[in-house]
Amino acid sequence: MIAVIGSSNVDMVINVDKFTMPGQTQKGLELSYYPGGKGANQAVTAKSLGGDVFFLTCLGNDGNAQMMKRELEAIDLGHGIRLVDSPNGVALIEVARSGENRIIVYPGANSRLSPEIIDDSRESLLKADILLLQNEIPFKSSLYAAKLFYKAGKTVIFDPAPSSNIDKSILQYVDIITPNETEMAELTGPSLCIEEAAVKLLEMGCENVLLKRGEKGVLFTGRSRSLVVPTFRVKAVDSTAAGDVFNGAFACSLDRGLDLHFSLKYACAAAALSVTKRGAQRSIPRSEDIESLLFERGFESYR
């Protein structure tokens, strides 16, 4: 079973030709509203791919919260919803024709997900073997959850996004940290190459580093081995949820008992397919499509 503790946002997505420059006004090409939030994206991915998932999240008291509640309950992820007196979390996302994105997040109800709320759900959470965390809820809550699962002998996977205001003390409770290159540089300093930065994170206390490099694939660095897994070349339309889809698929594969190398390939395939569609959770691929891509590119299925 997989536990996810994290954010639920409504994504307001504006498609543009090129990113807007400071002081510039331009017409958007399209405006869309999608369910999102890094926590919800990862939980929905794992659930959609057949995982047994408990998702703990806070929703607000507005129409955006009602939309998120309907979406989560529709796929049996409503058991961990906690309603609070606050506007719901919102993400403003600008997507260029290239598929690249820029995101501003207003946390709203996500900022109310406290250690006390985690404690109230402790029994349900600790049924899981894997915990997925991100950094869109109060950091003290992520740190509390990481300690709780680490001391219970569970696997803690931490996505340090956004990477601001992270206390490095959390790393001693993390089995796998999953930054992208920008987040890696913010955590370790910009002067190190990626291999040196990964080693530095290990020295800070993390057990394994899984660097997500977009179209360059992933670099896994552990204390005893390293792996490089290339990505799958596709035509990118919207990369908004690629990292979240990767984490959800990766956790789902590990939870099935599949080995690390295959789980990395599976997650890379899932992320690649996700960038071919618009929207965060709307872009999550089906398991059979992931398996088809793996088969087409010469990889064996887990079946």
Kindly give, in sequence order, each residue whose CB lies less than 8 Å from that of residue 191, ignoring residues fewer than 6 positions away. Answer: none
User: What span, in angstroms and rounded, lies between the C-alpha atoms of 15 and 165?
Assistant: 29
Cis bond before residue 162 (omega within 30° of 0): yes
Q: Which residue has the tokens 């504006």?
A: 14
Find, among 76, 86, 67, 72, the residue nearest to 39 by Cα. Answer: 72
Kindly give, in sequence order, each residue whose CB lies less than 8 Å from that of residue 206, ignoring residues fewer than 6 positions away. Answer: 171, 172, 174, 175, 176, 177
Kindly give, in sequence order, each residue whose CB lies less than 8 Å from that of residue 48, ignoring residues fewer than 6 positions away. Answer: 75, 284, 286, 287
Catalytic residue of the set 52, 244, 255, 259:
244
User: What span, in angstroms and rounded, lies between the C-alpha atoms of 264 and 244?
Assistant: 14
Q: Does 244 qualify as catalytic in the annotation?
A: yes
Segments in 1-158 forming alpha helices (H): 38-48, 63-74, 115-120, 122-125, 139-151
Give catalytic residues, as residue numbers: 244
